[in-house]
Structure 1
């Protein structure tokens, strides 16, 4: 009974927050105002607070632009977490646009939807990503191309860094800054997260969204580390495979550190 009441209160609170912020975001989208970049951060912060996701930030967001964040991918919660700590936009697979609730939210945030199988449209998609970065927006890429179990980094696909390669020649200095970001879900109810609770953090593709979302709302009290690594300068003409290798090395090192060390010397997002 108490659990159902908790879920009901979370849903009601999220609806209220959405209705309050929606007019500002719609106005920002309609007139292409910069406010559209900031409003989603407040929604994501509210969502994390209501769901009991406590964020611990390590390192700093790169201040130079253009900037692409390359992050490991564990769950849909990664969107909330990264969106709560920075004003970002996401690169998402096209089918996300059709998801209930999450698809609508992604459109309101002006995410970039890509069709990976559409070879003819690849150039157009890459150019859009490059244009958004050169305009000063921070683009988040999940270079694994899928979600993992949260305990390891899957293969990083160098082809997904095509947007960085396309954006570099368009910048004044011919550089795109690519910053690795490791997301590690470490604790639940203050206890180290073992294999039993790992399904709460991770969201494999074969698990339906609705039951997983309800499970997160029932549990609450999840701690997550967000570690910003040193940015890599990717210059026009540089090799994407070398970039992919450098990102992989740094992401894996940071992920292992925070999963094993569970170091809480970072600041908490507020």
Structure 2
């Protein structure tokens, strides 16, 4: 009963806030009266509050540009957690563009959609990411290419780092800064989450979205920790596969640090 009441109140709050913030974001994108990320940050924070999620950040995003952030991926809520704290643009799988509401909201934050299975389009998509990088956008790449269960890191895919190579090859930049970032769900109702309970936050593979949203709304009380690691410079001389392995190692280290020494977040 309590879960149903909480879900109803949270959904009402999300709808009311979106009714105000989404039109403001559209105005921002069309007029440029204020930075696009201003409204996005507010919206992400409101959504996290409705979900009962709190965010803790360790370290900070570097100011160097062009910047590509290599992160692990656990759930659709990762986007809200990152978007609530830093000015970033996301790279997402093409399927997201067609989802009701989520596709629309993704386009409002200028998400770049990629079709990983269609190599004919990969060049155009990488070129678009390269242009964004050159324009000063901090791009978030979920380098596993899929979502994990929150306990283990999946292997990073070197092909997803092709945009960094293209940005350099096209002369848009002489180097790209790549920064490792980990996302870890650490607490539930203030208590440390173990391996058994951590998948509550995860959204894996072909899981239906609506039931998962409902579960999180009813559960509430989750803490997520974001850790920013030491960046590296990717240049024309860099080996993409070696850089991919290095980023995977660094993200794994950051993620394990969050899971082994979890500190409750204070606020979303």
Question: Where in structure 1 are there 5+ consecutive unaligned residues?
Answer: none
8 Å contact from structure 2 (residues 134, 172) kept in 1: no
* Mapping 1:110-189, distance limit 5 Å: 110-169=110-169, 174-189=174-189
Question: Hey, what does 1:237 align to over in structure 2?
Answer: 237
Q: CA deviation at 1:202?
A: 1.1
1:208 and 1:86 map into 2 onto residues whose CA distance is: 28
2:138 and 2:189 map into 1 onto residues whose CA distance is: 32
2:196 and 2:122 map into 1 onto residues whose CA distance is: 40
Q: CA deviation at 1:268?
A: 4.8
Structure 1 residues 25 and 74, CA, compared in 2 at 3 Å: closer, same or farther?
same
What CA RMSD, in Å, does the superposition of the two structures yield over aligned residues? 1.8
Structure 1 residues 116 and 33, CA, compared in 2 at 3 Å: closer, same or farther?
farther
Question: Where in structure 2 are there 5+ consecutive unaligned residues?
Answer: none
Structure 1 residues 254 and 97, CA, compared in 2 at 3 Å: closer, same or farther?
same
Structure 1 residues 137 and 268, CA, compared in 2 at 3 Å: closer, same or farther?
farther
SS of the aligned residue for 1:85 comes to coil
- Normalising by structure 2, report the TM-score: 0.94
Q: CA deviation at 1:195?
A: 3.7
- Deviation per residue, 1:60-79 (Å, 9 max, x gap): 11111111111001111111
- Normalising by structure 1, report the TM-score: 0.93
Instruction: Name the count of aligned residue pairs.
Output: 268
2:84 and 2:266 map into 1 onto residues whose CA distance is: 11
Q: CA deviation at 1:48?
A: 0.9
